[in-house]
Structure formats: structure tokens, C-alpha cells
Amino acid sequence: MTVAQDLAAVRERVAAARHLAVLTGAGVSAESGVPTFRDAQTGLWARFRPEELATEAAFRAHPQRVWDWYAFRRERVAEAQPNAGHLALAGFARRHPDRLTLITQNVDGLHQRAGSTGVLALHGQLFENAWLDAPQPCCDLERERVGSPSACAGCGNLRRPAVVWFGEALPLKTLAAAQQAARACDVLLVVGTSGQVYPAAGLAQTAQDAGAHVVVVNTAPTALDAVADVVLRGSAALILPELLSFK
């Protein structure tokens, strides 16, 4: 089939779906100007791979370097605006309450800024902080502390970004809700992810095993193309509005 025929067929599936699940990755924010993970790191950070910065060990060894990298990313994302892909997902959910579960690997908050609610943020939130050595803040996390990254004047804990670092467990309730949505959906859209990081990438097989129609939307081949029933090769900002625009 041609791309247009594939698109029309997927659109019909989405229109008929009782429940739609969507898993997004960094590609859905690419057209908002937020670099994807596996694009080359830019500028000052070109000499590091994300895997060398987004880890607890890296933060303990070089707290200032890791904190500055997240500050740099926060600045980049704060300047970005949600794009047509983010807005199409939020608009669909608004017009069709309780028919869409949005699961994201992204920490940039652009889905939420586009108006999506109840987003299952598997890898945390870039603009939120946590304590390095305490599951719960021992005191007022956001009250300024000494130094940067700041340390708690009471217990000495370092403030860290509330994102899931490589090697850390995902938030269990969020992951369980995402797996439940993958099992229960009629259609799973996998959008803008290379499908290399588990357990997030495993949601495609979970949905496939439960009988869902799995559709990959991506500008380049991904590790999940083989799991998909259909691959729509193209940009999320162009394809999502096509798939989700019906009233």
C-alpha cells in the first residue's frame, strides 16, 4: 500500500478504536527544537554521551557538570513550544474523553504544556527536583540551599533532577498503568522513539501480544518496526494531526 493508503487505513482504525494508547519518544518534540537523545549532542556537551551524564554515578562524581547539563536542557526546553503533534494528541483527548492514554518517555513537559492531562511520564519530569539520597524530601526541597547543585542545610542531601537516570527503576505505578493501557488498547501508536530503551519499548510487544493494532510513526527505521502492524514513515508533527483530527 502507499503511504496515503496506510495513513487512511490507520485513521480508520483509530476512529473505530474504543481505546487508543500512544507511546511517545524524543522524536515527537524534535519539531519543537528539542534535540532527540540519539542526535549528536550539541555545543559544549558534544564531548559527552547522555549515558555519561544521566546516571547517579556521574552525578556523584561530577555533580556540577551533571547539574549544568540539566540546567542547559531546561533552558532549551523552556524556549520550546508544543508542536502540532503535541496539540493533536491533546485535542483528541479533549474531544474524546477517556479514549486515549498518553505514555511518554519524554521529560520535557511539552505534552502537558499542550494541554494533555494524566500523562504517564515514565522517565520523570525535567523541571522537577528530588533529593539524591532520600525518597521523600526531608524538608522544603525548593527553599534555596547552599551552593549549586544545592545541598539541604539539614541533612546534606544534594538536590537532583526528578528524572529516571540510566540504571534506575521507573516509577512503578506509572509503569504499571502504562502496561495496563498497552494490554487494554485496540490501537497503540508508537511515535518518535528509536525503541532502544526498556521497559518503555516493551510496551509495543505487550500491546501486540494482547491483540492491539500496533502502528509506528517515525522518520527513520526503529527497533520496533518489526513488532508493528504498520509503519508510517514520516514526521509526528505532520502525521498525528492526520490521524487524530476527527471530531
- Closest to ligand APR by CB, 122 vs 158, is 122
Determine, following the binding rule CB under 6 A, whether residue 55 of this chain makes contact with ligand APR: no
C-beta of residue 20 within 8 angstroms of C-beta of residue 186:
yes
- Closest to ligand APR by CB, 152 vs 178, is 178
> Cell triple for residue 143?
527553599
Which residues, 24 to 43, sit near ligand APR by CB under 6 A? 25-27, 30-31, 36-38
Cα–Cα dist 31/205, whole Å: 27
Which residues, 210 to 229, sit near ligand APR by CB under 6 A? 218-220, 222
Neighbour count for residue 88 (Cβ, 10 Å): 21
Exactly one of 32, 73, 102, 105 binds ligand APR (CB under 6 A); that residue is: 105
- Closest to ligand APR by CB, 30 vs 114, is 30
Instruction: Please give the angle made by the CA atoms of 166, 167 and 172, to the nearest 5 degrees.
Output: 100
Determine, following the binding rule CB under 6 A, whether residue 141 of this chain makes contact with ligand APR: no
- The b-or-e profile of 148-179 (16+ CB within 10 A means b, else e) is ebbbbeeeebbbbbbbbbeeeebbeebbebbb
- Closest to ligand APR by CB, 174 vs 219, is 219
* 86 in active site: no
Determine, following the binding rule CB under 6 A, whether residue 108 of this chain makes contact with ligand APR: no
- The 3-state DSSP composition of the chain as helix, strand, coil percent (nearest 5) reads 40, 15, 40
Exactly one of 64, 81, 148, 196 binds ligand APR (CB under 6 A); that residue is: 196
The DSSP symbol for 137 reads -
Q: Which residue is nearest to ligand APR (CB)?
A: 27
Amino acid sitting at position 72: F
Give the catalytic positions in this structure: 123
Question: Which residues contact ligand APR (rule: CB under 6 A)?
Answer: 25-27, 30-31, 36-38, 50, 105, 123, 192-194, 196-197, 218-220, 222, 235-237
